[in-house]
Amino acid sequence: MSIEQWTGYEVSEATLLEAANWIASLDSNELNDDQQIAFHQWLQSAPENQHAYLELSELWAKTACLNSMHEFIEKSVVIPFPTEKPEEKPQPVTYAAGPSWAYSLTIGLICFGMTLPIIQHFV
Going by pLDDT thresholds of 50, 70 and 90, the confidence category of residue 44 is: very high
Query: What per-residue confidence (pLDDT) applies to 9?
Result: 61
Which pLDDT does position 91 carry in this prediction?
A: 83
Q: For residue 56, count other CB atoms closer than 10 A to its CB.
A: 21
Q: What is the mean pLDDT of residues 89-93?
A: 83
pLDDT at residue 4 is higher than 60:
no
Q: What count of other Cβ atoms lies within 10 Å of the Cβ of residue 43?
A: 15
- Domain limits, the chain: 3-75
Residue 66 pLDDT class (50, 70, 90 cuts): low
> Other CB atoms closer than 10 Å to residue 41's CB: what's the count?
10
What is the pTM assigned to this prediction? Answer: 0.47
